[in-house]
Amino acid sequence: MNAVTGLALSDYILHLADNALVLGQRNAEWCGHGPILEEDLALANNALDLIGQARLLYQYAATLQGEGASEDALAYLRDAGQYRNYTLLELPHNTALAPTARSERDYAVTIVRNFLYSALMVLVWEQLQNSQNAQLAAIGAKSLKEARYHLRHARDWLMRFGDGTAESHARAQAALDFLLPYTQEFWTATEVESAAIASDVALDLASARPHWDMLIHDAVLEATLVLSPAHGFVPTGKLAVHSEHLGFLLAEMQSLARQHPGAVW
């Protein structure tokens, strides 16, 4: 592996890891607050799956980086401006752009976000499980099984919300209208992704978009919801330019590790 390929791979792996960690942290916020006990456990398991994926990816990235890098340092000791996750994943669980500490979580927002993201990651992991990179292929094969479950869980709940009561339908539609514009970031390749694609490391998402569009369209139609075109400002989380929400999320997630650096349990 030459230096360019190694750098492209390391940066791309961090992008995947940051996505999984940030959404895992968001979903974990439902622990003890789920709408019903079964969903409390389902979201906790979803979060554990994502954090497990993040750990494997951070371990691999740390190996590629060397120089004392570790999975814990990559997860807990980087600032918001060093994260490369999609902006979609750091947003709070409601449709308010500037929620307060008292803002109520909306489970429809969580479900729609998980649906949009897991539909993408099923396609990504399907491709990466066949990578010539043995370690990435192993991570892809394990993660694909989890992503398929996450997609099935979110899709089932999207059907219940959309084809349920008038209120559940309205909440699901509002969540879809709010979140869909953030998915534009999926399709705008960064220099890191372009380098990784050129090195046969990453999936060119432009080629996967028609399949993703079909998955989303079919589910939204079945849920009796309306799919509005995504337009407006294209988020820049992959470029490390985030919403104000990521800083607060990381402050909570990283507080213990930063107070006791190097601590072991």
CB burial of 100-136 (b: ≥16 within 10 Å; e: otherwise) equals eeeeebbbbbbbbbbbbbbbbbbbbbbbbbebebebb
Residue 98 has pLDDT above 60, yes or no: no
pLDDT the model gives residue 5 = 65
Confidence of residue 68 (pLDDT cuts 50, 70, 90): confident
Q: What is the DSSP letter of 104?
A: P
- The predicted-structure confidence for 183-224, as pLDDT tens digits, reads as follows 999 999 898 899 888 888 888 999 999 999 999 999 999 999
Q: What are phi and psi of 241, to 5 degrees?
A: -110, 105
What is the per-residue pLDDT across 115-133, written as a single tens digit (0 to 9) for each? 999 999 999 999 999 998 9
pLDDT surpasses 90 at 4: no
Q: What letter would DSSP give residue 70?
A: -
Reading the block at residue 38, the tokens are 């079964």
Binned at pLDDT 50, 70 and 90, residue 51 comes out as: very high
Domains observed in the chain: 3-259 (1.20.1260.10)
Distances (CA, A) of 16 to 19, 36, 150, 155: 5, 30, 16, 22
Residue 101 confidence (pLDDT) above 50? no
Place of tokens 């607060």: 248
